[in-house]
Structure 1
Amino acid sequence: MDTPLLTVEEQRAYVMRLLDALEVTDRDKRLKVARAILYLAQGVFDECDTEVDVLHWSRHNVFLLYDMGIFTALLELLSMEIDNSQACSSAVRKPAISLADSTELRVLLSIMYLMVETIRVQTEDHRPEWIAAREAFKNELGGSFSLLELDEEPFALLLFTMVTKFCSMNAPHFPMKKVLLLLWKTILFTLGGFEELQQMKVQSRDHLNLPPLPEDSIKVVRAMRAASPPASAMELIEQQQQQKRGRRSRRPLVKQDSLDTYNERDPFKNDDARDEEEDPEDTDSGIEGEVDPLDRDVIIQPPPPPPLLRPPTERVNFPKGLPWAPKVREKDIEHFLETTPTSKAKTDSINILADVLPEEMPITVLQSMKLGIDVNRHKEIIVKAISALLLLLLKHFKLNHIYQFEIVSQHLVFANCIPLILKFFNQNIMSYISAKNSICVLDFPHCVVHEMPELTAESLEAGDSNQFCWRNLFSCINLLRILNKLTKWKHSRTMMLVVFKSAPILKRALKVKQAMMQLYVLKLLKIQTKYLGRQWRKSNMKTMSAIYQKVRHRLNDDWAYGNDIDARPWDFQAEECALRESIEKFNSRRYDKNKNGDFTPVDNCLQSVLGQRVELPEDFHYSYEMWLEREVFSQPIQWEGLLQNP
């Protein structure tokens, strides 16, 4: 480029001017300055010729902005926007939420996301420094963290506040996709990802003098990708039977699409001839005599009327409504329709699309197609962020303290997380995995460096060149891992899988040819086989064989021959009650501030400490000046120490 580059001092001076301009009272001017900062964080793409240049200047500017204190200023602006009651009230009154209602929030969150993600990716090359920084962060929270202690961190507190406020429907204009992504990346950076969790687990076992882990399940699955597994016992029996009948012993080779070079034959394709055509479990996915628990929106049909005793030609007219007058006033009915929660339309969930819907709806077919793809992509990103965030928190809590993990797990179970995940998988999972809801030419930084080609309906229908959507595959694996963590060694929750008829749903998920996803599906099938009965195992021998081959087993496992079909969900409720009692004892011992003990949390918030009332003796005001001279004025103050240790 012919544009002259500024020196580092000139760049810092320019950023300082932007930082000063963020403190103006004019809202429009603040937004203009915030957009200028966003342009810097995005790599000043208008001055670049290639995508590599954009990424280079984005990294350079992000570290410069962070060094100049822009991130702290953005936190203050974000706090102001969260508490902006005028914007919240206007958004609540509006019939439809659009991009215009969240402009300021989207700009601030975009800058923060770019800064957090760029710094996180760059520090991956310096893992020792990253681990040391994370340990220092945990030490500031008292050596361990919980949901309460995590909220004391200012940034996480703001983001959790946004999520809570949105869920209460007081601020439907919040751009939740950006909030969830930023929350996920923040926890990923401050607490560590899956690889760091594995290292922390090894270090914790070594510190507690426990034997090292024999193997890592994920590494074992990855090692299996390079080699094809041997034929199952059921396949060998079928081959022998085919030889006796004079049929060909070898099956014809069928070209299959592999998600990650895991070239194995599908052991579930012909699991039972009935499964491909008509699976009796698929047709009846609910409890006998009850509505399908996975689909609460189904309208209950009344039972068939008894046979008519009079001739069919004679029509009987029944009065509409009840035969008696309702004991309710008209005023109460109007109040009910205006305020309790059942009057809310189901389309209220569209509010999560506040940062994707335009102010003016599309009027052409091409615009409608583009918006539809963008909306679907938006939903997929939200599922990805939520699933990754929940899994990451569960793993960190379990490594930090088992009761912290258990209380979050119980909250998820009581919030119907298990049937919700099963309902998610009760869709055409192959179509979800292979969805193409992205437009490559609109991706950043390609869209700002290259000339924009003309978009047509044909190019939008074609989508990207990727055969599978890795974003959706990542979400599915995360949800399966969450379901495994919630149900592992919990008989009552395993019975929930049986009650909600999860076996046919999980079997359909096995059609996805990806080793890690199949592993977690088979784990969920394994823990409930003894509750499904002998007939189910007999009809699904190939699934049983796959479980035997790919899932780790223990010496006293009775999954393959145990039979406990008479078990009922309420038989195991004592487990949940005992676990809840242990959790409450743990919380009372460790987090109850009324008790003075070694486990009392330390209040390290400056505003909270200074805001507490301190009881002083009655004669203190007589000797106040003497105390001030002795304790304050005559004591030397080490200003350098205060600046280094704020």
Structure 2
Amino acid sequence: MQADEMESSMESPNLEFEYGDMDTLPAELSELYSYTEEPEFALNKDYFEEDFKSQVRGRRWVELSVEEQRAYVMRLLDALEVTDRDKRLKVARAILYLAQGVYDECDSDVDVLYWARHNVFLLYHMGVFTALLELLNMEIDNSQACSSAVRKPAISLADSTELRVLLSIMYLMVENIRVQTEDDRPEWIAARETFRIELAAPMCNGEPFALLLFTMVTKFCSMNAPHFPMKKVLLLLWKTVLPLVKQDSLDTYNERDPFKNEEARDEDEDPEDSDSGIEGEVDPLDRDVIIQPPPPPPPLRPPTERLNFPKGLPWAPKVREKDIEHFLETSRNKFIGFTLGNDIDTLVGLPRPIHESVKTLKQHKYVSIAEVQIKREQELQKCPMTLGEEEVEETPAEILYLGMLPNLSQYVIALLKLLLAAAPTSKAKTDSINILADVLPEEMPITVLQSMKLGIDVNRHKEIIVKAISALLILLLKHFKLNHIYQFEIVSQHLVFANCIPLILKFFNQNIMSYISAKNSICVLDFPHCVVHELPELTAESLEAGDNNQFCWRNLFSCINLLRILNKLTKWKHSRTMMLVVFKSAPILKRALKVKQAMMQLYVLKLLKIQTKYLGRQWRKSNMKTMSAIYQKVRHRLNDDWAYGNDIDARPWYFQVEECDMRESIEKFNGRRYDRSRGGPAGGEFTPVDNCLQSVLGQRVELPEDFQYSYELWLEREVFSQPIQWEGLLERP
């Protein structure tokens, strides 16, 4: 397209969207359930009341003392240990009703949320989460259920009943304990930190809880367990990782950036984001949309009072050490005819203006945590014996990475398969993964109204899966980068090799405004509204009307997450930037600028900025408004020539070498730090060697059982029948 598409964005309204780690708590809880699960709310209540009323006659749960509630929960825990599956399921449903907030005894949504929070902490203190974990392991390993699901031609909601109940309780516990409120009691605050430590510890089969959920994802994608309720698994996995990867302040690694103030931060440098979630801070200028109405005129002032407007851009530019090296390499080639490698201090033979330029560049030099970590890793690889063994702090992110490392490729591929299956641009294929196991009813709809309701439910189901996967991937990338740059790089390479970049571009190659404003929700059926209020009669007209919201929060949230993933994968990676060019991402990304939301536009402009030099002069001439928006809204390096094709790094023969070198560095890092057979912890070529003859000969050596039978033959063949040249042995130096 020759015309700049940004003019058409004048027709769309500004979106009042606040990007954060998650939506509101009621919205997050409501997305746990599909509309098809609505009849099960009454089932949970009935099973609870059937048992509760037989124990506590004439009283309600909310009227019991805490000690009485504890005693009843202990009784439920004992009942969970029965061998009968049906009885266990009834008890689990009663526990789920408590975690859902005993809604039959509440008069409002607020009451339900309060009692859900109260009950969840009570359940946690009584050890319910550990008991549920054992049951979940049993259900995962239930070979009979798996084989039955594999043979069935159509999977429905009934095939995942036990798993859905267990996962729902665990999700409600994780989400309610994780979220902080002003009304939290002191014991709740202490329980939150304890729970976070427990989730990070090896609690199931010697692995963190998140690894169990990753295993469920890979097992589902390998078609060995098609009945697994993937939406609930992914939501629980996302929320488990979200408190779990809390990081301390990074000031110990790096001085605070002098070129940023507290109000004007650019998420372009991820290591400076020390928050525990996925929300990134942006420059205050970026909080406004690119195209906006002019501000109101300032009030009239006396003629003697002069207005002082700030000069320049609202941020100070940065410079990498590599940029200074490139500048000096070019200058030395031009003025003295040879270079000095990575020397950035020697300026002999260069004219005075070059001296001044280097001085200015050094004043704006910025060293990121990633560069510090890379330099430290190079030193450890070069001098392993001098520097000794590295002390690795066992942070939750470190424990998670160590657990994921052996099967990291499988986890990444499985997540991308699910993302592809849930993308609105994907077409159903016979061999594609069925992600609708926990939304399709046993009996398919027979009326138009039922079909419309199920259609909304299916679309909503896919949107929630995209939301969970996009949030999970951005969390993994962000916090692995904070923990160590090579942990981030290996996840990035697995994503790139699994075609993550074209997949995200395919996702955006749709009518993005329609996706942002999709009405795939039935508000009256959302939890907890549907269990507190009397439901009105649903009609085709009310379903088509949807809600009155300006946009769908989860879809806009997902789009921003996917754009952030693209930015993280392609930043400073020219081979991946060329993938954006090859897959013709520019028109796709430009269409996304129609969504007038500041953060989303910022990340779109960043992706356009890094590839403008490869798009040609004609494209730049035809898209001057986009170029101006990039200049105004995206932070630039001091010597950044993003608008031209003069970058010394833009050499096509370097592209594949870049990925190979990165892969080699990653393998060296993993081998040194984690591989016991190659010098990692507790073993390897740098392990101290015992040189004492008596000590070595005195060690007990375990021989194989069959050795005694063949010992005499071996002795005859290798010792007695072989002549020994004693003179030769004595003559050896």
TM norm. shorter chain > 0.5: yes
Could you tell me how far 1:262 is from its partner in structure 2?
A: 36
Indicate the SS of the match to 1:183: helix
Q: Which range moved further: 591-600 or 47-56?
A: 591-600
Deviations 1:177-229 (A, max 9, x none): 00000000001xxxxxxxxxxxxxxxxxxxxxxxxxxxxxxxxxxxxxxxxxx
CA separation of 1:279 and 1:408: change in aligned 2, threshold 3 A: closer
Q: Which range moved further: 531-540 or 288-297?
A: 288-297
For the Cα contact (< 8 Å) 1:294–1:500, is it kept in 2? Answer: no
2:522 pairs with 414, 417, 439, which one?
Answer: 439
Are 1:624 and 2:711 matched, yes or no?
Answer: yes
For the Cα contact (< 8 Å) 2:289–2:598, is it kept in 1? Answer: no
For the Cα contact (< 8 Å) 1:531–1:564, is it kept in 2? Answer: no
Could you tell me how far 1:49 is from its partner in structure 2?
A: 1.5
For the Cα contact (< 8 Å) 1:175–1:355, is it kept in 2? Answer: yes
Inter-partner Cα distance in structure 2 for 1:603 and 1:436: 71
Are 1:120 and 2:178 matched, yes or no?
Answer: yes
Deviations 1:523-559 (A, max 9, x none): 0000000011111101110000000000000111111
For the Cα contact (< 8 Å) 1:272–1:539, is it kept in 2? Answer: no
Q: Which range moved further: 128-137 or 23-32?
A: 128-137
Could you tell me how far 1:562 is from its partner in structure 2?
A: 2.5
For the Cα contact (< 8 Å) 1:486–1:493, is it kept in 2? Answer: yes
Q: How many residues align?
A: 568
Inter-partner Cα distance in structure 2 for 1:307 and 1:259: 41
Deviations 1:236-269 (A, max 9, x none): xxxxxxxxxxxxxxxx999999999999999999
Could you tell me how far 1:7 is from its partner in structure 2?
A: 1.8
For the Cα contact (< 8 Å) 1:41–1:111, is it kept in 2? Answer: yes
For the Cα contact (< 8 Å) 1:506–1:525, is it kept in 2? Answer: yes
Inter-partner Cα distance in structure 1 for 2:108 and 2:310: 75
For the Cα contact (< 8 Å) 2:250–2:272, is it kept in 1? Answer: no
Indicate the SS of the match to 2:112: helix
CA separation of 1:426 and 1:286: change in aligned 2, threshold 3 A: farther
Deviations 1:39-73 (A, max 9, x none): 00001111111112111111111011000000000
Q: Which range moved further: 39-48 or 346-355?
A: 346-355
1:131 pairs with 189, 192, 212, which one?
Answer: 189
Could you tell me how far 1:304 is from its partner in structure 2?
A: 58
For the Cα contact (< 8 Å) 1:509–1:521, is it kept in 2? Answer: yes
Could you tell me how far 1:277 is from its partner in structure 2?
A: 34
Indicate the SS of the match to 1:333: helix
Could you tell me how far 1:594 is from its partner in structure 2?
A: 2.5
CA separation of 1:484 and 1:607: change in aligned 2, threshold 3 A: farther
CA separation of 1:13 and 1:29: change in aligned 2, threshold 3 A: same
Could you tell me how far 1:347 is from its partner in structure 2?
A: 3.9
CA separation of 1:575 and 1:320: change in aligned 2, threshold 3 A: closer
CA separation of 1:408 and 1:602: change in aligned 2, threshold 3 A: farther
For the Cα contact (< 8 Å) 2:221–2:433, is it kept in 1? Answer: no
CA separation of 1:106 and 1:570: change in aligned 2, threshold 3 A: farther
Could you tell me how far 1:128 is from its partner in structure 2?
A: 12
Question: How much identity, in percent, do the aligned residues show?
Answer: 93
Inter-partner Cα distance in structure 2 for 1:440 and 1:608: 76
Could you tell me how far 1:129 is from its partner in structure 2?
A: 11
CA separation of 1:613 and 1:51: change in aligned 2, threshold 3 A: farther
Inter-partner Cα distance in structure 2 for 1:326 and 1:546: 17
Q: Structure 2: where are the runs of 5+ without partners?
A: 1-21, 25-63, 200-206, 329-421
Deviations 1:139-195 (A, max 9, x none): 999xxxxxxxxxxx43112111101101111001111100000000001xxxxxxxx
CA separation of 1:45 and 1:517: change in aligned 2, threshold 3 A: same
The two structures, once aligned, show a CA RMSD in angstroms of 20.9
Could you tell me how far 1:614 is from its partner in structure 2?
A: 12
Inter-partner Cα distance in structure 1 for 2:224 and 2:480: 30
Inter-partner Cα distance in structure 2 for 1:366 and 1:352: 23
For the Cα contact (< 8 Å) 2:167–2:232, is it kept in 1? Answer: yes
CA separation of 1:336 and 1:367: change in aligned 2, threshold 3 A: farther
Deviations 1:312-359 (A, max 9, x none): 99999999999999999999999999x999999814446211000001
Indicate the SS of the match to 2:559: helix
**Paired residue for 2:292?**
301
CA separation of 1:343 and 1:184: change in aligned 2, threshold 3 A: closer
CA separation of 1:498 and 1:292: change in aligned 2, threshold 3 A: farther
Inter-partner Cα distance in structure 1 for 2:324 and 2:675: 44
For the Cα contact (< 8 Å) 1:258–1:514, is it kept in 2? Answer: no
**Paired residue for 2:220?**
166
CA separation of 1:140 and 1:581: change in aligned 2, threshold 3 A: farther
For the Cα contact (< 8 Å) 2:120–2:173, is it kept in 1? Answer: yes
**Paired residue for 2:573?**
490
Inter-partner Cα distance in structure 1 for 2:213 and 2:436: 18
Inter-partner Cα distance in structure 2 for 1:643 and 1:378: 80
For the Cα contact (< 8 Å) 2:246–2:277, is it kept in 1? Answer: no
Could you tell me how far 1:92 is from its partner in structure 2?
A: 0.6
For the Cα contact (< 8 Å) 2:168–2:232, is it kept in 1? Answer: yes
Could you tell me how far 1:597 is from its partner in structure 2?
A: 7.0
CA separation of 1:636 and 1:617: change in aligned 2, threshold 3 A: same
Could you tell me how far 1:467 is from its partner in structure 2?
A: 1.5
For the Cα contact (< 8 Å) 1:286–1:293, is it kept in 2? Answer: no
Inter-partner Cα distance in structure 1 for 2:423 and 2:581: 33
Indicate the SS of the match to 2:706: helix
Indicate the SS of the match to 2:244: coil
Q: Which has the higher contact order (CA 8 A, sep 6+)?
A: 2
Deviations 1:420-478 (A, max 9, x none): 00000000000000001000000111111110100000000000111210110000000
Could you tell me how far 1:505 is from its partner in structure 2?
A: 0.4
Indicate the SS of the match to 1:275: coil
CA separation of 1:345 and 1:46: change in aligned 2, threshold 3 A: closer
Deviations 1:65-119 (A, max 9, x none): 0000000000000000000111111111111110000000000000000000000
CA separation of 1:304 and 1:515: change in aligned 2, threshold 3 A: closer
Q: Which residues of 2 match residues 538-557 of structure 1 at below 5 A?
A: 538-557=621-640
For the Cα contact (< 8 Å) 1:271–1:542, is it kept in 2? Answer: no
Inter-partner Cα distance in structure 1 for 2:561 and 2:316: 53
Indicate the SS of the match to 2:677: coil
Inter-partner Cα distance in structure 1 for 2:730 and 2:556: 48
Could you tell me how far 1:127 is from its partner in structure 2?
A: 13
Inter-partner Cα distance in structure 1 for 2:79 and 2:729: 28
CA separation of 1:624 and 1:45: change in aligned 2, threshold 3 A: farther
What is the TM-score normalised by the length of structure 1?
0.64
For the Cα contact (< 8 Å) 1:180–1:382, is it kept in 2? Answer: yes
CA separation of 1:615 and 1:570: change in aligned 2, threshold 3 A: same
Inter-partner Cα distance in structure 1 for 2:86 and 2:725: 43
Inter-partner Cα distance in structure 2 for 1:509 and 1:633: 82
Deviations 1:564-592 (A, max 9, x none): 79968664100000000000000100001
Are 1:600 and 2:654 matched, yes or no?
Answer: no
Q: Which range moved further: 318-327 or 167-176?
A: 318-327
Inter-partner Cα distance in structure 1 for 2:629 and 2:131: 55
Q: Which range moved further: 552-561 or 611-620?
A: 611-620
What is the TM-score normalised by the length of structure 2?
0.57
Q: Which range moved further: 621-630 or 410-419?
A: 621-630
Are 1:574 and 2:657 matched, yes or no?
Answer: yes
Could you tell me how far 1:133 is from its partner in structure 2?
A: 9.2
Inter-partner Cα distance in structure 2 for 1:357 and 1:139: 37
CA separation of 1:173 and 1:262: change in aligned 2, threshold 3 A: same
Inter-partner Cα distance in structure 1 for 2:694 and 2:532: 47
Inter-partner Cα distance in structure 1 for 2:732 and 2:168: 31
For the Cα contact (< 8 Å) 2:155–2:226, is it kept in 1? Answer: yes
Could you tell me how far 1:630 is from its partner in structure 2?
A: 47
CA separation of 1:81 and 1:300: change in aligned 2, threshold 3 A: farther
For the Cα contact (< 8 Å) 2:264–2:284, is it kept in 1? Answer: no
Inter-partner Cα distance in structure 2 for 1:620 and 1:253: 51
Inter-partner Cα distance in structure 1 for 2:71 and 2:727: 25
For the Cα contact (< 8 Å) 2:610–2:642, is it kept in 1? Answer: yes
Q: Which range moved further: 604-613 or 252-261?
A: 252-261
Inter-partner Cα distance in structure 1 for 2:120 and 2:686: 40
Inter-partner Cα distance in structure 1 for 2:137 and 2:732: 25
Q: Structure 1: where are the runs of 5+ without partners?
A: 142-152, 188-251
Indicate the SS of the match to 1:629: helix
Inter-partner Cα distance in structure 2 for 1:26 and 1:467: 49
